[in-house]
Structure 1
């Protein structure tokens, strides 16, 4: 009985020790697994945060850099930088010093080469050196404000004088010599110049009357400025004789017992031209047409009636024949040196050729730019005390009038323009 009991106690003691040992091993393994799982979970979280931060910068590249840096560093803040071994650190420092030494040698070689080049240059003599030192001591004069203003005024005058040569005579010679190429405009200029030459020749036979009277329609000037007299038909507008041509507007006309709708085509830039010129000139429309016809057109061009100061019509002209109406500028009661007359017919300024500015007639060319060129010239001539002297230099109408042929006139014009 005793042996059996003793054996049973020993077996129970062994089982208990085995159980404790197994429990200890199990606890150790479980602790290892939890550590491993926790570290793995932490790495997965870090990867997720890094992926989120990188995707955020891709979607919003304009975000502040500080915000993206905070999101990245906060996810890996527990990660420590790896320590570099001492031997590796020494190798890195050695390579840096070697690169720096090579840079120094390269710079020093470059300096030596530059020094050799400078030594090969011929030495300056004592006189040259003294002259050089004397030049260094010379003070460069600074231009005054008055000088700068004068230079700017001369420059602007040169620019204006260059732009005004784009008008009429320059274009005529350009089309004749082939420097300007536009078959339609070339034909227009050649036809008009032949008519201009013919009218100027006939004007020599017209005697200017000694007596004249001021027009009661024109009042004394309230503001001192130059006067721009401009024609209406074929200069600012064209009356379409054929209904097939396109018109900008229509006006009613009564002839006898019948009424007609007449189409009017406005020259390109006409209204812009009047607006710009009204700022610097006193504008008077002087036409050889009847008032009933002309007033409707002027009202369309100047609906508020603040651009055109006065209107003169056929009864204000001097009629020589059915097709010849002269516009005597003396009736305006203005200083003749302040008047310019723009007209497609040279008969109009037969009495005052120096005041005349020719213009080719307008038919139906929507690419016409004559008024733009004319505007440049009028701005240019407005700055002179006497517009007639500049007209003589620009158009040479008296020279054309005294030539015995068109060929001679063109030759004289080409010579004057080349100067």
Structure 2
């Protein structure tokens, strides 16, 4: 080997060594800058988190951010800008040095240098990307935080869509609320959750009210709602539709005739009714065709039989109890004072009442035909004034509108029971009675629900149905 060739090889090795050292120095400087930039990003995030806490406090509690905090934040931002300028200047110096190194590599023609050039190019691309790294990371952080907030909102709202009572709503709100003193100590997502609580509470209340309205419409609908439902076709049961239509025509005729019945000014309190020991509303229930049905023919199925004397002969009469009647009496006895008021004779009625209430702890009092005001053979009016109770606390359930002719607003109609074991009218009635019991004056609610006075003042049944459909749609 010649001396010149040896010298050239030594020069090549020396230059490669120098380039390798420069490359290492550049990589060390780049890592140092990246670490500094990460530190800057951490400071930015810390500043943004500090900014979020007073903003949440101010929006949630109506407080203003303190000036000292704002001044500290402005100083930190200025320091960050200075540091950013210095880092950019260093990046430019590095890029210039890298360009010089690249020129040197181009002057060397050996194959060994062809492997070094792409590495330098890769380093240059990394250096050029560092200038946009901060802005990109900022955008990523903002997008990720927005996604987290949306996920938390959807998760919370999904849990809150179940139908809950107002007590459960209050308990949930109390558990979700955090004390104001712990805002600065908790994690950032808790601050975001506290900021959303006010909107969540309004959503809960709206959903609770809407769920209560749907429940009230489904459970408290009774008679008039069912009548309009069968007429409009939303409720489909041919037998019940026929029962409702025929009974409403009878109700309309009885209310029209009741307009000509004069209510007497004088009346006497019944000696059978004693003053109330417990303040509660009074529920008066008819017996025949309301709670039971009397089968005239013994061949028909009956729940039990009672002896009835007619023309000095004793007959076994079958009695069919309306479905859910005994459970209805048990449930209503917890909330109401129950009185059975029937136009039947005491011998006949007492045997049925004893069967319904064998322990005599459900029905408080019993009134019979001699307690009614008889207008004709088929017209017996039950004057509620003889009970010595406040009229705003009295409810009379009867299949005949003649019974509450003197006090229409106290009356609740019911379709007659004709031995139909699928009958559910007492269940619907029970829900309505539980609903109306919370009001001070039951007459106002009965007037809203049944509109019997409007029906009484209508010229025809068609006009009455139009008024009822309009009131229900409201």
TM-score calculated relative to the size of structure 1: 0.65
1:250 to 299, 302, 305: 305
Contact 2:373/2:383, CA 8 A, preserved across alignment: yes
How big is the shift at 1:123? Answer: 12
Quick one: structure 1 residues 180 and 153, their matched pair in 2 at CA, closer, same or farther if it must change by over 3 Å?
Answer: closer
Question: 1:290 and 2:345 equivalent?
Answer: yes
Following the alignment from structure 1 to structure 2, what is the Cα–Cα distance between the partners of residues 415 and 183? Answer: 24
String of CA shifts for 1:127-160, please: whole Å, max 9, x gaps.
xxxxxx9xx78964868xxx99999996786365
Structure label with greater radius of gyration: 1
String of CA shifts for 1:184-237, please: whole Å, max 9, x gaps.
000000000000000000000000000101000000001000000000000000
1:330 aligns with 385
Quick one: structure 1 residues 229 and 157, their matched pair in 2 at CA, closer, same or farther if it must change by over 3 Å?
Answer: farther
2:251 aligns with 196
How big is the shift at 1:243? Answer: 2.1
Contact 2:298/2:316, CA 8 A, preserved across alignment: no
How big is the shift at 1:165? Answer: 4.1
- DSSP 3-state at the match of 2:467: helix
1:158 aligns with 213
Question: 1:209 and 2:264 equivalent?
Answer: yes
Contact 1:167/1:374, CA 8 A, preserved across alignment: yes
Following the alignment from structure 1 to structure 2, what is the Cα–Cα distance between the partners of residues 302 and 397? Answer: 32
String of CA shifts for 1:358-397, please: whole Å, max 9, x gaps.
0000011000000000000000000000000000110000
How big is the shift at 1:242? Answer: 1.8
Contact 1:163/1:377, CA 8 A, preserved across alignment: no
Contact 2:308/2:316, CA 8 A, preserved across alignment: yes
1:382 aligns with 437
How big is the shift at 1:241? Answer: 1.1
Contact 1:231/1:286, CA 8 A, preserved across alignment: yes
How big is the shift at 1:330? Answer: 0.4
1:312 aligns with 367
Contact 1:163/1:376, CA 8 A, preserved across alignment: no
What runs of 5+ residues in structure 1 fail to find an aligned partner?
Answer: 1-114, 125-132
Structure showing the higher helix proportion among its residues: 2
Contact 1:288/1:313, CA 8 A, preserved across alignment: yes
Contact 1:164/1:380, CA 8 A, preserved across alignment: no
2:412 aligns with 357
- DSSP 3-state at the match of 1:253: strand
- Mapping 1:30-179, distance limit 5 Å: 140=195, 158=213, 161-179=216-234
- DSSP 3-state at the match of 1:184: helix
Following the alignment from structure 1 to structure 2, what is the Cα–Cα distance between the partners of residues 149 and 384? Answer: 25
Question: 1:260 and 2:332 equivalent?
Answer: no
String of CA shifts for 1:255-286, please: whole Å, max 9, x gaps.
13210000000000000000000000000000
2:447 to 372, 375, 392: 392
2:468 to 409, 413, 418: 413
Quick one: structure 1 residues 386 and 150, their matched pair in 2 at CA, closer, same or farther if it must change by over 3 Å?
Answer: farther
TM-score calculated relative to the size of structure 2: 0.57
Quick one: structure 1 residues 149 and 290, their matched pair in 2 at CA, closer, same or farther if it must change by over 3 Å?
Answer: farther
Contact 1:250/1:264, CA 8 A, preserved across alignment: yes
- DSSP 3-state at the match of 2:468: helix
2:94 aligns with none
